[in-house]
A and B are shown apart, each in its own frame.
Chain A
């Protein structure tokens, strides 16, 4: 079965500092990987996704993520965090074998201090 682990429940960074949110997945083949962001009281917005090809993917709002097969990881990064980035971030995995179903990690709450 697929599973996703986000080891950090909360992360606090200073505005302007770099950010890395960790995500590890468990799946036999190469999964389809996603990062979503959820602001308070809002639905989820897709930041980026990876299926194949270049292991470094660029997303919206200046985010990027790197797929590392050997580590079963798909970490999200941003070089300089803005106060508006404060939100909850979810890593998700899907596979054609399981249909169009996203399996989400527990989420990481990002706090940005000025």
Chain B
């Protein structure tokens, strides 16, 4: 089975712009979670989607949003980019979104905001 894929892998934007990142989960997985990784704050949970519904949300401003499509692919959007949004954005998928299930991570999208 193919693993979790994320596109694009690298992205450079300027302050004030918006960006959309994409995540394709492992085939058959219905849960997709997003995490932000920065040197200062480490790995932080953004949100989780299951069957097209946001099921859980981390402590991020409303500029961060996401959605999930019927094929379980997910996108996250960041509007009005700030310098501090520069980070590695990781998505993870799991079969049914149960806590005990293994979450499989993609390679991430590295976003640089100038």
Q: A43-B90, A43-B108 are in contact. Are A100 and B42 (CB under 8 A)?
A: no
Interface members, chain B 2-44 (any A CB < 8 Å): 4, 31, 33, 35, 42-44
Binds B, one of A13-21, A61-69, A79-87, A89-97: A89-97
A105: min CB distance to chain B, Å:
8
Q: A43-B4, A43-B90, A107-B42 are in contact. Are A102 and B103 (CB under 8 A)?
A: yes
- Closest Cβ neighbor of B98 among chain A residues: A100
Q: Does A44 contact B (CB under 8 A)?
A: yes
Q: Is the CB of A95 within 8 A of B43?
A: no
Chain A residues closer than 8 Å to B102, beta-carbon distance: 46, 49
**CA of A46 to CA of B92, assembled, Å:** 11
Chain A residues closer than 8 Å to B55, beta-carbon distance: 99-100
B interface SS class: strand
Q: Is the CB of B103 within 8 A of A46?
A: yes
**CA of A107 to CA of B39, assembled, Å:** 10
Partner of A51, one of B33, B58, B100: B100
Give the interface centre of A41, A43, A103 by most chain B CB atoms within 10 Å: A43
- Closest Cβ neighbor of A104 among chain B residues: B43
Q: Is the CB of A44 within 8 A of B105?
A: yes
Q: Mark B90-105, 1 if CB is under 8 A from A, else 0.
A: 1010100111111111
Partner of A101, one of B33, B105, B107: B33
**CA of A75 to CA of B84, assembled, Å:** 32
Q: A100-B31, A100-B56, A101-B48 are in contact. Are A45 and B98 (CB under 8 A)?
A: no
Chain A residues closer than 8 Å to B99, beta-carbon distance: 32, 94-96, 99-100
Please give the residue numbers on chain A whose beta carbons come within 8 Å of chain B beta carbons, in ascending order.
32, 36, 41-46, 49, 51, 90, 94-96, 98-107
- Known pairs A49-B100, A49-B102 / 9 extra A-B pairs, C-beta < 8 Å: A43-B90, A45-B105, A46-B104, A99-B55, A100-B94, A100-B99, A100-B101, A102-B43, A104-B44
